[in-house]
Amino acid sequence: MVNPTGRVLSQRKLNTNKSDYGHIFVLAASRGLSGAGVLCANAAMRSGAGSVTLGIPGSLYPIVAKRVFLEVMAKPLPETGQKTLSCRGYRKIFDFSQKASVLAVGPGLSRNPSTQRLIRKIVSHVNRPLVIDADGLNALAGYLDILPGNAILTPHPGEFSRLIGRPVEYIQKN
């Protein structure tokens, strides 16, 4: 198989199963931003993950379950009144994350205060590699000291600006 850069990707061995290719737990989506979670989970599946679970506010389940690839598992979680992930779901998220190879946090999660607290609690306590994007990054503005060494941040200039407290112009010049 050849990827767009022309490099040859290795073929998977015939005698393997999905657990050989990792389990990605994606925490994403909120009311009005369910597509962000769907895109992230589907991309994780296409990247070659063995399995993907998408953790979402419970009320979004009927919407999201129809849009994700059939192989993606949607996991309804406790939500706030604004249909965002709630801190009340922390224990469920923490326990489930222990079965995952990596945790992706942020796309479409919102800036709801309860959700932002939940994100910070997850980042500081879940002992798994993390990929943090979008609202996951916004939750970390002013809290970079809680970042573990196994975190990958994917900010655009606006998010990076909020993270380090510098204007976007500074980010783009440097």
Our CA angle for 129, 18, 155, nearest 5°, is 30
Amino acid 88: pLDDT: 98
Q: State the pLDDT at residue 104.
A: 99
Per-residue pLDDT, 1? 52
Q: How far apart are CA 37 and CA 67, in angstroms?
A: 10
pLDDT of residue 4: 66
pLDDT in tens, the chain (174 residues): 555 666 666 788 889 999 999 999 999 999 999 999 999 999 999 999 999 999 999 999 999 999 999 999 999 999 999 999 999 999 999 999 999 999 999 999 999 999 999 999 999 999 999 999 999 999 999 999 999 999 999 999 999 999 999 999 999 999
pLDDT at 12: 82
pLDDT at position 45 is: 96
Q: Per-residue DSSP letters for the chain?
A: -B-TTSPBPPPPPSS--GGGG-EEEEE---TT-HHHHHHHHHHHHHTT-SEEEEEEEGGGHHHHHHHS-TTSEEEEE-B-TTSSB-GGGHHHHHHHHTT-SEEEE-TT----HHHHHHHHHHHHH--S-EEE-THHHHTTTT-GGG--TTEEE---HHHHHHHHT--HHHHHH-
Q: Is the dihedral of CA 91, 94, 99, 103 positive or negative?
A: positive
Domains within the chain, CATH numbers bracketed: 19-173 (3.40.1190.20)
Which residue's structure tokens are 């998010």?
Answer: 159
Core vs surface per residue 135-167: b (16+ CB within 10 A) or e: bbbbbbeeeeeeeeeebebebeeebbbbbeeee
Burial of 130 (0-12, 13-18, 19+ CB in 10 A): buried
